[in-house]
Amino acid sequence: MANIELKNITKRFAKTTALADVSFDIRDGEFFVLLGPSGAGKTTTLRVIAGLEQPDSGGVLFDGAPADAMTTPERDVAFVFQQYSLYPTMTVFDNLAFPLRAPSRQIPEASIKERIGEVAEKLRITHLLDRKTARLSGGEMQRVSIGRAIVRDPRIFLMDEPLSNLDFKLREALRVELKHLQKTRASTTLFVTHDQIEALTMADRIAVLNNGKVVQIGTPHDIYDRPATTFVAQLVGSPRINLLPAARDDGRVHVDGAPTAFEANGAGAALPGSFTLGVRPEDIQPRPEGAFAGTAALLEPLGVETLVYIKAGERTLVSSVPGISRYAIGDAVRFNIVRERLHYFAPNGARVSS
């Protein structure tokens, strides 16, 4: 069992408030992701949970018991840092075996070997087991660091951007392996990243942090489809959501500087006079008979999709079209927008619910 609760954690460093009243809970067996830009407070949160940092106020509960009364072994967390902390003169195998060989564990050498074999295969480091870690590349060291954490079964894994030093293909492969490993072993995991794709693809739930505050907690689906603020809306989704200044008049929505008035739906009645309209690129759909008119200003073919930048009045909207687009720069483009999937935000950035 592992259930971790953070209750109203505040942590200051001199004049910087790294965490301001942060609360969330991580459920047993959950893959929980902390997502936020640099300086948001992600690493500080992990350090508070690990007991490496004392909060100024608030507390952490491990399975309902206050963690500050626990010794490090009692907390039983496995931490994967951004920097690798390996023993350079030991082989990769001995680095991986180190946490398992603690006298208190009494694990037979044959079981250690079997466990390391399994983990090494998942992390694609079997061929490195006899090498000294000082001679490895950054990406290899990163995988050994992950391996050293996951050879054992701690109460919780705390992972701080563990895939950040890997090239794209390896990152993609390890994303899948880590998620698979986490699910088959049902290990409670707190994973920190600033990469929205990692967060959306790996998380059971995501907490979005900004300036030391939790902005939203939800499933990847919640965060993508019902972002609580314009900040969250822009943080997830690539290319970024189109955010357009707009106004309401007679129940109709007018985008400033663009000939795109339409009936407000859903949130219509709750909308203030001026607001921000959010439209995901996949919800702007070029169609020959589309209701709105513009011009193709730029095309970015990406293989599975093409980004079509459509100039409509003074606004340029980005639309994502499956496959290769038939448009050329300068072509007239008619398009529809998927009205059920529009997002409305008040002037302070908060979502107007629909």
Q: Which residues bind ligand ATP (CB under 6 A)?
A: 13, 16, 18, 36, 38-44, 194
CA angle 245, 246, 252 (to 5 degrees): 170
- Give the single-character DSSP code of 157: E
CA atoms of 142 and 127, how far apart (whole Å): 15
| Nearer to ligand ATP (CB atom), residue 13 or residue 87 | 13
**Minimum distance of ligand ATP from residue 6's CB (angstroms):** 14
CB nearer to ligand ATP: pick between 8 and 126: 8
Evaluate the omega torsion of the peptide bond into residue 239 and state whether it is cis, within 30 degrees of 0: yes
Residue 212 beta carbon to ligand ATP: minimum distance, rounded to whole angstroms: 7
- Buried-exposed string 54-88: b where 16+ CB fall within 10 A, e elsewhere: ebeebebebeeeebeeeeeeebebbbbbeebebee
CB atoms within 10 A of CB 265: 12
Question: Smallest gap, in angstroms, from Cβ of residue 159 to ligand ATP?
Answer: 12
Helix (H, G, I), strand (E, B) or coil at 309: strand
Query: Toward ligand ATP, which CB reaches closer, 75 or 194?
Result: 194
Between 41 and 147, whose beta carbon lies closer to ligand ATP? Answer: 41
Q: Do residues 273 and 247 touch, judged by C-beta distance below 8 A? A: yes
Query: Minimum Å distance from CB 210 to ligand ATP?
Result: 9
Note whether 9 and 41 are within 8 A (CB): no
Nearer to ligand ATP, 18 or 112 (CB): 18
For residue 80, the minimal CB distance to ligand ATP (Å) is: 14
| Closest approach of ligand ATP to the CB of residue 154, in Å | 21
277 contacts 261 by C-beta, under 8 angstroms = no
Question: Would you say 38 or 54 has its CB closer to ligand ATP?
Answer: 38
